[in-house]
Amino acid sequence: MTPFGVTSNGTAVEAITMSGHGLSVTVLTYGAIVQDVRLDGVAHGLTVGSDLLTDYENEMRYFGCVVGPVANRLQNAEATIDGKPHRFEANLNGRHTLHSGTTGAQSQVWFIDEITENGLALSLILPNGHGGFPGNRRIEALYEIISGPTLRLTLTTTTDAPSIANATNHSYWNLDGSNDISGHSIAITANSYLPTDDIDALVTGEIRDVTGTPYDLREMTPLTPAKPPLDHTFCVARNRGALMEYLKLTSASGVAMSVATTEAGVHIYDARDAGYCGVAIEAQGWPDAPNKSGFPSIEIAPDKPAVQITEWRFSKG
């Protein structure tokens, strides 16, 4: 554990490095950020990060972090939870909620619960009403390096009252250590995706078959900036379930990564606002679920926590 810096409000941030099975991962207590991922025998890092805390507080606010309690968008900054209407911060174009608002988990300094050679447990307490969300909630992020080599993240959200939870890791992956995603190819086992509007990238509520669309990524497809524009959720399942591998990312350097998750959706963002520097792969529930009929529920309760598991499995050519 080493000091990483001090936030703008004066809170110290630590960096913790885990290693094992040929993989090394550095995580920050700020935002539970995956700051660096290194694979033995590969000279460059595999995720886009920074050595400056001020970057993560500003233009890189979503790089590598755990977004929570609810990732993605909530239309009109509202949702009905347990029959009661709730309003949230409208931090997206003054109309909608993005990533739980400006005080979400990604902007908080997490507590260190346990450090082992190949594991790190962090936690965050979100009091009732924080960001507009009900319930006193606790989010636990358990990072583990296991054989593969694999990085596993288990996100557990508990509450003392009905609430909603849909956390995710928001790392930007670039397996070449290059300037942009050119040279990468992707495949996603998803027969459908969620179309969005052209104004705020809000899901429309439609579940569309990928066949015949630019979003048919069931076979390995080269990633080219803006072709197609990617800020979409791919429907890999209808509900949270068993841990399954749904996605593969390959690179010109020969490094490859497969992603397995328990979640019903995998959201892909092409980092267009950051020069297409990497690709964000966000395993999560479907966006705006409380406001979309037929979408898998993201409701939690005292006897119904959210337990979300994602694994990143690495190999090299």
pLDDT mean across residues, the chain: 97
Tell me the C-alpha to C-alpha distance, in Å, between residue 38 and each of 73, 153, 161.
31, 16, 40
- 193 and 215 in contact (C-beta within 8 Å)? yes
Rounded to whole angstroms, the Cα distance separating 88 from 139 reads 19
Number of helices and strands (H, E) in the chain?
Answer: 1, 27
Q: Which two tokens stand for residue 191?
A: 């027969």
- 181 and 162 in contact (C-beta within 8 Å)? no
Closest of 129, 166, 134, 157 to residue 289, by C-alpha: 166
Provide the pLDDT confidence category of residue 133 given band limits of 50, 70 and 90.
Answer: very high
Rounded to whole angstroms, the Cα distance separating 134 from 303 reads 15
Return the amino acid letter for 260: A
- 78 and 92 in contact (C-beta within 8 Å)? no
Specify the pLDDT at position 299: 98
Rounded to whole angstroms, the Cα distance separating 67 from 90 reads 16
Specify the pLDDT at position 317: 79
Average pLDDT, integer, range 135-140: 98
Rounded to whole angstroms, the Cα distance separating 142 from 145 reads 10
Q: Who's near 135: CB < 8 A, 6+ residues apart?
A: 128, 159, 160, 161, 162, 163, 300
Q: Which two tokens stand for residue 228?
A: 């197609």
Residue 290's SS3 state is helix
Q: Who's near 273: CB < 8 A, 6+ residues apart?
A: none
pLDDT tens column, 295-310? 999 999 999 999 999 9
Strands 231-235 and 244-250: unpaired
Residue 255: Cβ within 10 Å count: 23
Average pLDDT, integer, range 84-90: 98
Q: Which two tokens stand for residue 139?
A: 């989010």
pLDDT tens column, 9-24? 999 999 999 999 999 9
pLDDT tens column, 233-267? 999 999 999 999 999 999 999 999 999 999 999 99
Break the chain into its structural domains and give their ranges: 2-178+271-315
Return the amino acid letter for 220: M
Tell me the C-alpha to C-alpha distance, in Å, between residue 313 and each of 44, 141, 206, 258.
17, 18, 31, 5
Average pLDDT, integer, range 213-235: 96
Residue 69's SS3 state is coil
Residue 142's H or E segment, with its range, is: strand 137-146
Fold held by 2-178+271-315: Beta-galactosidase; Chain A, domain 5 (2.70.98)
Specify the pLDDT at position 82: 97
